[in-house]
Structure 1
């Protein structure tokens, strides 16, 4: 007797605008604010915008469209979509889901830090020593080693955030996830624009912008700069780890996907440039008050930028508390919209595989995520563990999923032409053959090169060996890789409780005649 039951009814976004806001909400996250400015500055300044734009057009947008096409044509979660390409490909979908499981567990902790710092900003609680406050009084960071000693100052905000996430995710897509993004993205833009305008009027802001945009043309001859551009575009657009694939599966059958994807991609890049203005105007002010050059500041990216450098600025500038509330509020909003998109990848897969209701699937996923975030990242070694896990999950986990996605679609399932026809059939703007060239040739080569170089470096040198011993790299770094592969393998082996294989894609127009409407992109 069959163990399969009817599949849960496919939910839908209420319309194109709700999907667009959700796609932008996923793409615009913590990395846009604290990663892009530093990457651009250290890779040629203004000259970096050239490889950045090339990477956007040849990698970011093509892979984004690939995700859109897969989700919209095969109407399922990542595992269901890859299984419908061929039963032996289901593992790729679960690998992308497993990466999201890891990311959700630590992402919520960073949001807890941001939420705490919204409150700390009102009184400038860190005083004259932001670094000591963050790593000492707040996080109580210990030497790199596994520990179960909780940091209660982090634990409670994490619990509150998980409760809020459950409230958002348990409802229908159109009433929960979509509604939050419709509110959060305009609010984020308004808040961050206010913050940037305030920063531009600080003493020294112009020097900061000069440091950010002054081009180092010689950097363009360095292959590492081009790799950095492709890596930044790839990660910032939230592509190839199930998010955009899952979102597009909730679109109506007739959805204008290519123009919507272009708007989402360029909106994400525009926000990154806006973040560059705000961050470097602020760093220029900091350098001005210290009487040093921007290049001599301690950090211009990452956790240190947000939770040590910016608090130091807030403590010295006029109206600092309000500036701090806006900055950390922006981090919180940007991160929250990205977190719910990561969770939706997992929830959609669990619902389909085990025929669960949305509240049941959300409860199961959030329960697992809460345990991981508390046990691993809400401890006195949470900062160290988070740093390594983030590096391995992104630089190995996501890249592996991306490389496998391209290989499966292009070389094994041979669906690239079909997916191009599908996008052109539902869109007013057609994708030309350049898209197949980018997805089928350029991206597999570039992504595989970056992946091999990264794995070799981590295997031979380790991640940040000056800060972390080899045992810590092995436990939290390679342990993350093993966990991702194990989860993907176990989930693939489990029996589907829904009729995943009873699916037929909508017929395409005759490939011999033009498809779609409008002009070629």
Structure 2
């Protein structure tokens, strides 16, 4: 890379070679499994068409402002999450390692869902699940045991899981541009084409319009319920890949003269556009399923694993050209999930490289091999579904959400970093970053997300999640939440290598004022 504004250190770390590649990589990270199997049901449960209002308010008042915060941290400080926090203030380094711990835990279980989707892509050709998709998924495919922890392998899961990890390692070894960048350039357009084709086919299924009526019929009274607004803020936050190091890491790989706020708007609205598209496709298909079974749409509406691996196989079995729908749906899950998982693991790899001055290959091996082994041992077994479900629930609600709130409060009120971050964003911004952003990041977003967090905590304490045994929730739920926090602050005790400067890197070329309004 021969750009005049790229330092030797940046060349060593790796760089996206254009803003377009960065935007596609950021979209690839943001668009994941949650967009496809979570958003449609959240919207349906919280006012249908009326949910669009709190959703857009949450996007504009919390999602995009927090995205700008992540961008400012990584782009200004030119490092992984821990190094970027440390360069902002040595007192905040632990927040970066807390995020690294969260990403490691997500990597462990997220790969298993990709392995399931990969198998189901091929199952779609001959409808391997037969007449009982639910029984097949839990029984013959996952071989689910009684709640507990076993190490009995399920080879039908373990083998594709190993394939997923091999592909992940190969992409990550190739580096920022040749691996992550090229993956995004190739697969994000494929994902969009495949999903548009899926939606187009779903719209012509019998009963599709009933499904869309169910999804989009507005319940205006829902707008008066605090829980609906909390759901909107929670959905925006979870779907944008913000608050746990991904966008900090990716933005550190972008040239210094890039318009980061403008890029953030593209990423934010592209992510939301894909969620809306997913809602249309999923509920059109559910409308068909409801009509075929002679029931109301709300009786077949579901989210998460139940939607993907039980409801959709049922639709595939009953619809004409079902194999076509199945391949498009599960391939979309694989692509969306794979690009997201690459970004999650890159957070950990980038942090290890910065801390220990390791080569890219060395860091990929040091991170991915242990993560893969833990994933295979715990998720490729008959109890893998339980472990995955508990970690996913607690890490999203009490890991990502908690660290994001703490990060905003610390950066805004403890180290008073927002003015310098706004100045940095304004260097090349097409959007003036002024007092409005500081108010949203310093007040509105943390208050809204804190409300979501408190509601989730009260609900979880009142009703233990999933009916699982208390010891499982304590070990894989609350235990993992506490473990990543402890890891975050223990990791700060490990000294940085002497070669690593904790000063904010100077730009190698003079920056020109942009005439911003402050």
1:511 counterpart residue number: none
1:486 counterpart residue number: 486
What is the alpha-carbon distance in structure 2 between the residues aligned to residue 84 and residue 448 of structure 1? Answer: 27
Conserved 8 A contact 1:354-1:498: no
SS at match of 1:258: helix
- Structure 1's unaligned 5+ residue stretches are 1-5, 508-513
What is the alpha-carbon distance in structure 2 between the residues aligned to residue 7 and residue 173 of structure 1? Answer: 11
* Superposed counterparts of 1:373-384, under 5 Å: 373-384=375-386
- Structure 2's unaligned 5+ residue stretches are 1-8
Conserved 8 A contact 1:353-1:498: no
Q: Displacement, 1:517?
A: 4.4
The match for 1:348 among 343, 350, 359 is 350
Q: How many residues are aligned here? A: 509
What is the alpha-carbon distance in structure 2 between the residues aligned to residue 416 and residue 233 of structure 1? Answer: 22
Conserved 8 A contact 1:7-1:355: no
The match for 1:31 among 34, 59, 62 is 34
2:298 counterpart residue number: 295
What is the alpha-carbon distance in structure 2 between the residues aligned to residue 490 and residue 314 of structure 1? Answer: 49
Q: Displacement, 1:79?
A: 0.5
- Structure 1 stretch 134-143 or stretch 471-480: which is displaced more? 471-480
What is the alpha-carbon distance in structure 2 between the residues aligned to residue 326 and residue 258 of structure 1? Answer: 33
CA offsets, 1:6-46, max 9 Å, x none?
Answer: 99833210000000000000000000000000000000000
Q: Displacement, 1:469?
A: 2.0
Q: Displacement, 1:369?
A: 1.1
* Superposed counterparts of 1:34-49, under 5 Å: 34-49=37-52
What is the alpha-carbon distance in structure 1 between the residues aligned to residue 164 and residue 112 of structure 2? Answer: 9
1:228 aligns with 2:226: no
What is the alpha-carbon distance in structure 2 between the residues aligned to residue 112 and residue 444 of structure 1? Answer: 35
Conserved 8 A contact 1:12-1:250: yes
Q: Displacement, 1:331?
A: 0.3
1:516 counterpart residue number: 514
Q: Displacement, 1:457?
A: 3.1
Q: Displacement, 1:83?
A: 1.1
1:63 aligns with 2:66: yes
1:153 aligns with 2:156: yes
CA offsets, 1:141-189, max 9 Å, x none?
Answer: 1111011111111100011111111110002211110000000100000
Conserved 8 A contact 2:80-2:248: yes
CA offsets, 1:450-475, max 9 Å, x none?
Answer: 2233233333432133xx12222112
The match for 2:247 among 244, 249, 260 is 244
The match for 2:310 among 302, 308, 311 is 308
The match for 2:257 among 244, 254, 257 is 254
1:123 counterpart residue number: 126
SS at match of 2:146: coil
* Superposed counterparts of 1:94-109, under 5 Å: 94-109=97-112
SS at match of 1:175: helix
1:318 aligns with 2:320: yes
Q: Displacement, 1:505?
A: 4.3
2:447 counterpart residue number: 445
2:268 counterpart residue number: 265
What is the alpha-carbon distance in structure 1 between the residues aligned to residue 470 and residue 401 of structure 2? Answer: 23
What is the alpha-carbon distance in structure 1 between the residues aligned to residue 462 and residue 322 of structure 2? Answer: 44
Q: Displacement, 1:506?
A: 3.9
SS at match of 1:254: coil
1:217 counterpart residue number: 220
What is the alpha-carbon distance in structure 2 between the residues aligned to residue 383 and residue 408 of structure 1? Answer: 36
What is the alpha-carbon distance in structure 2 between the residues aligned to residue 235 and residue 309 of structure 1? Answer: 23
What is the alpha-carbon distance in structure 2 between the residues aligned to residue 215 and residue 59 of structure 1? Answer: 23
- Structure 1 stretch 44-53 or stretch 472-481: which is displaced more? 472-481
2:402 counterpart residue number: 400
2:5 counterpart residue number: none
1:144 aligns with 2:147: yes
- Structure 1 stretch 478-487 or stretch 250-259: which is displaced more? 478-487
Conserved 8 A contact 2:212-2:280: yes
What is the alpha-carbon distance in structure 1 between the residues aligned to residue 273 and residue 179 of structure 2? Answer: 26
2:84 counterpart residue number: 81
What is the alpha-carbon distance in structure 1 between the residues aligned to residue 115 and residue 96 of structure 2? Answer: 29
What is the alpha-carbon distance in structure 1 between the residues aligned to residue 516 and residue 19 of structure 2? Answer: 18
Conserved 8 A contact 1:7-1:352: no
Give the TM-score normalised by structure 2.
Answer: 0.95
When the two chains are superposed, the root-mean-square deviation of aligned CA atoms in Å is 1.9
